[in-house]
Structure 1
Amino acid sequence: MMRKHTRLIGWIAAVLVILAFCQLGRWQLQRMHAKEALLAQQVPARAQSLTLHQAQAAPPLLRWVQDHGRFLPGTILLDNQTREGRAGLKVYQPFQTDDGARVLVDLGWLPMPPDRVIPPITPLAGHTAISGLLAPSPATGLALGPALSPAPQPGVWLASRMPPDDMARALSLPTGSLAARVLRLDPALPGGYPRDLELLPNTLPPSRHLGYAVQWFGLALTVLVVALVLEFRRHRRRRGTPRR
């Protein structure tokens, strides 16, 4: 009886592990498809320019925006952003168009010194024309600790992630006035910091997700094969045991 219980527990454990590995593989495939779909939107997005208000009212796809307005006070520095292998910060400043639409504008990347002393930030000001790609906010890691903390420079906030309402409060903007998308400023425009329109910075490309999915499914298959081999050996031992 004890052997039967041990065998049952072993199979239950094996099935649970197989299901967990398959679920992880499925999640990696979902991430791969989501990123492939995002990358596929980039070229069509450049074919038509919209105002910021039009882009925000449209379905949440990549949109190319051209508009006029002014930069608002306040700066968000997103931590742990790499560029060409160097650690640094993404610089964001709120922008309001002439018709009242608001968005955080990605002004580019700023290197973080080894002593992690944030360099002085000079915010943009005045009425100007902008263009860029309205895209999802950068992916961040685990939500540990506060999302925003004040930097030594007044009006500057250091962020570990970018919850829209938290950023609106820090920038003294109405709750709900910022969306989960940011405007990736056109690199051809003057001002700001080094930048590009790379959609997947600091994150894995679709091919890596596919590779991880194959690994998880391979582990699930390995557990199944091991369980079947052990079961086969158990049957062989039973057949080879003489009856008394």
Structure 2
Amino acid sequence: MTARLHKMNVGPLELLFEWRLTVFTLLLFPGLLYLGAWQLDRAEEKRELALRNAQRQNMVALSHDELFQPLLQTVVATAEWTALADRKVSVVGRLNPKDYLLIDNRITNGRFGYEVVALVATGKGRVPVNMGWIEGDSARRSLPQPNLTSGEVRLTGRVYIPAGTAYLLEDQAAPTELPAVVQDYDARKFAPSLSQLLDEPVLPAMVRIAAEDPQALSANWTVVNQSPQKHTGYAVQWFTMAAVLLLAFIVRSSNVLSLMRGGKDRSQS
């Protein structure tokens, strides 16, 4: 069975399109360009996150009272709330050794573990504070018992509002009892249910404790998981693959090489 060909002449240039190769190129080439552009967008996003983090490093720390302003609780999805991301905050309240959640499957230096989110009781309500990472049993035969100080504490950290929604294998419901294990801490989704469970407001955002805080566990937070330069490098790879594909298609589907060799031969004669 012979492949169907479509031939075109443009002056001395001959174009001979084989339909399967043409369809393959037309499908793959835009995809490679899209992946390259997507990586450039990701690089810009990471640059903006790093810049925001650096700018807010020098801003005055907020108190937990300022996080509990009624207005801010009603505009969680708006720019006003997002403006609090990465802001330094001081949380004064009480820790209850049983009022915490474990975020499952957190790997640190190749070791399995959990992140511990304590629900700190303040005069305004509960503030979810991620105390950091704790090692767990990789066989899942038991859960770790974080050593949370009972009583009044003063914690420092930063407001953490994720840029997007975490990818989960299945939908997760808000916990109905404490302590609890969750796939990810969805502050906005969990706040109403936890508020009902604890009979007081729970902040619909999480604070990540500062690594140097005396109460912190292993709290080596990263601002961005991949540098903008790495995303740019990936973009260059996708664009290069697109260019190679297009060049190969042109060479395979035309007599451009013969024309180039003919011109070179004439110039040497």
Interval of TM-score (by shorter of Structure 1 and Structure 2) = 0.7 to 0.9
SS of residue matched to 1:232: coil
* Structure 2 Cα separation of the partners of residues 18 and 24 of structure 1: 10
Q: Deviations over 1:85-127 (max 9, x none)?
A: 3232111122354334x54211011112232232223455433
Cα gap change, 1:43 to 1:166, in 2 (>3 Å):
closer
- How far has the Cα of 1:183 moved from its partner? 0.9
- How far has the Cα of 1:223 moved from its partner? 1.5
Q: How does 1:6-155 map to 2 (within 5 A)?
A: 7-8=18-19, 10-47=21-58, 48-54=60-66, 57=72, 58=80, 59-71=83-95, 74-100=99-125, 102-116=126-140, 117-137=142-162, 142-147=167-172, 155=178
* Structure 2 Cα separation of the partners of residues 110 and 161 of structure 1: 15
* Structure 2 Cα separation of the partners of residues 144 and 166 of structure 1: 17
Question: Does the CA contact (< 8 Å) of 2:210 and 2:216 recur in 1?
Answer: no
* Structure 1 Cα separation of the partners of residues 164 and 52 of structure 2: 18
| Identity rate, percent | 23
- How far has the Cα of 1:65 moved from its partner? 0.8
When the two structures are superposed, what TM-score results if normalisation uses the length of structure 1?
0.75
Determine which of 222, 225, 229 is the counterpart of 2:244. Answer: 222
* Structure 2 Cα separation of the partners of residues 173 and 222 of structure 1: 60
Over the residues paired in the alignment, what is the CA RMSD in angstroms?
3.5
Bigger Rg over Cα? 2
* Structure 1 Cα separation of the partners of residues 202 and 23 of structure 2: 50
SS of residue matched to 2:6: helix
Q: Deviations over 1:120-146 (max 9, x none)?
A: 234554333222111234988632124
List gaps (5 residues or longer) in structure 1.
237-244
Structure 1 residue 161 corresponds to structure 2 residue 184: yes
SS of residue matched to 1:23: helix
SS of residue matched to 1:161: coil
SS of residue matched to 1:4: strand
When the two structures are superposed, what TM-score results if normalisation uses the length of structure 2?
0.69
**What's the counterpart of residue 242 of structure 1?**
none
Q: Deviations over 1:150-195 (max 9, x none)?
A: 7xxx622222233334433663368x9543x421112332224222
Question: Does the CA contact (< 8 Å) of 1:29 and 1:209 recur in 2?
Answer: yes
- How far has the Cα of 1:53 moved from its partner? 4.9
Cα gap change, 1:4 to 1:167, in 2 (>3 Å):
same
**What's the counterpart of residue 3 of structure 1?**
5
Question: Does the CA contact (< 8 Å) of 1:69 and 1:96 recur in 2?
Answer: yes
SS of residue matched to 2:254: helix
* Structure 2 Cα separation of the partners of residues 161 and 138 of structure 1: 14
How many pairs were matched up? 229
